[in-house]
Amino acid sequence: MSTEPAFVIVTGMSGAGRSTAAKALEDLGWFVIDNLPPGLLFAMAEEAGKVKLAADKVAAVVDVRSLAFTTDLNAAIEELEGRGVRVRVVFLEASDEELVRRFENVRRPHPLQGEGRLVDGIARERGILREVRANADLVIDTSSHNVHELRHKIVSFFGGEDRPGLRVNVVSFGFKYGLPVDADLVVDCRFLPNPHWVPDLRPMNGLDAPVRDYVLGQPGAKEFLDAYEEVLQVVAVGYAREGKSYATLAVGCTGGKHRSVAMAEQVAARLRDRGMEVQVSHRDVGRE
C-alpha cells in the first residue's frame, strides 16, 4: 500500500457528469467538496489533513466559473505537489450534441452561455478547458453513459486505490461511429477478414464463440496480439514511471461488432495475465 498522499480533482464539461462522479466517490468513502474554487484547493487539503494523513481520500470538484480557472488550477496543483501531495486530475467529457440534449432536458442555461446560445457556452467552456483536458490523468467520455454506467466506471477506477499498478479500460468500437475521445491508445483490426460477410456469423458478435474462433484463426491475428502485448508492457512501464495510473485502450473495426470485440477481449485477458487490473466495455455492440 502506497503512503504517498493522493488528491483527486474532478473537472470537465458542464453537464458531463461531475456531480455523479462526486457522489460515487462519496459512496466509496472519499471526502468530497463540490464547486470549490481552484484557489482554495490547498487550504481544503490542509484542512482535511491530507498533507499529513495520507490514508484519507480527498477529492474536489471544480468548474470554469472562475475567470482565471486555468491559471488558478495550475497554480493550485503546483502548490499541492510542492507540499508532497500526489494530485490526479479526472476530466469528464461529452459530445456537443449530448451536452445540448442534457441541458435542454433539464431546461437550464449553460453557465457560460450569457446572452448567447447554448452551443456558444459549450464552445467557450471547451476552449477554456482545452489545456486542462490535455494534461488530465484520466479522461472519461460520458456521451453514451447513463448515471449508473458512469458511477460504475468511477467505482471501477477508484474503488481499489490501495491496489498498485496501472488500471486499464479496454473498449471496442466501430470506426464508422467515430473514435472514443477518451482513448489513450487506438489500434485498428480492419486488417482481419470481416465476419459480417459470413452469413452464419453476421447476426452474432465477438463475444460469441464462433465469431471469436473465426477472428482468432485468421492469419495475423495471433501475431498482432503477441506484438501488441509486448508494446503495451513497454507502455505500462512508461506510464508508471510518469505517474499515470489509468489508461484507456481502444480496439476498433468497421462496426464495432465482431473483430474489435473479439480482439479487445483477448487484449484484456493477456493484460490480466500480466497482473494488470482491467475492465472491458464494448461501446457499439447492438448499435446497428
Q: Where are the beta strands (DSSP E) in 105-234?
A: 138-141, 167-174, 185-188
13: annotated binding-site residue?
A: yes
260: annotated binding-site residue?
A: no
220: annotated binding-site residue?
A: no
Sequence-distant (≥ 6) Cβ neighbours of residue 133 within 8 angstroms? 12, 91, 93, 139
12: annotated binding-site residue?
A: yes
Could you count the other beta carbons within 10 Å of the beta carbon of residue 82?
9
For residues 26 and 155, give the distance between their C-alpha atoms in angstroms, rounded to a whole number. Answer: 10
212: annotated binding-site residue?
A: no
121: annotated binding-site residue?
A: no
159: annotated binding-site residue?
A: no
For residues 156 and 29, give the distance between their C-alpha atoms in angstroms, rounded to a whole number. Answer: 14
Q: In what order do the strands lie in the sheet with 246-253?
A: 185-188, 246-253, 167-174, 277-282
19: annotated binding-site residue?
A: yes
15: annotated binding-site residue?
A: yes
Residues 223 and 149: beta-carbon distance below 8 Å: no
14: annotated binding-site residue?
A: yes
Q: Which residue reads 463540490 in cell numbers?
A: 34
Long-range contacts of 142-145 (CB under 8 A, 24+ apart): 142/16, 142/17, 142/92, 142/93, 142/94, 142/98, 143/93, 143/94, 143/95, 143/98, 143/181, 144/283, 145/17
Binding-site residue numbers for GTP are 63-66
Binding-site residue numbers are 12-19, 63-66
Binding-site residue numbers for ATP are 12-19
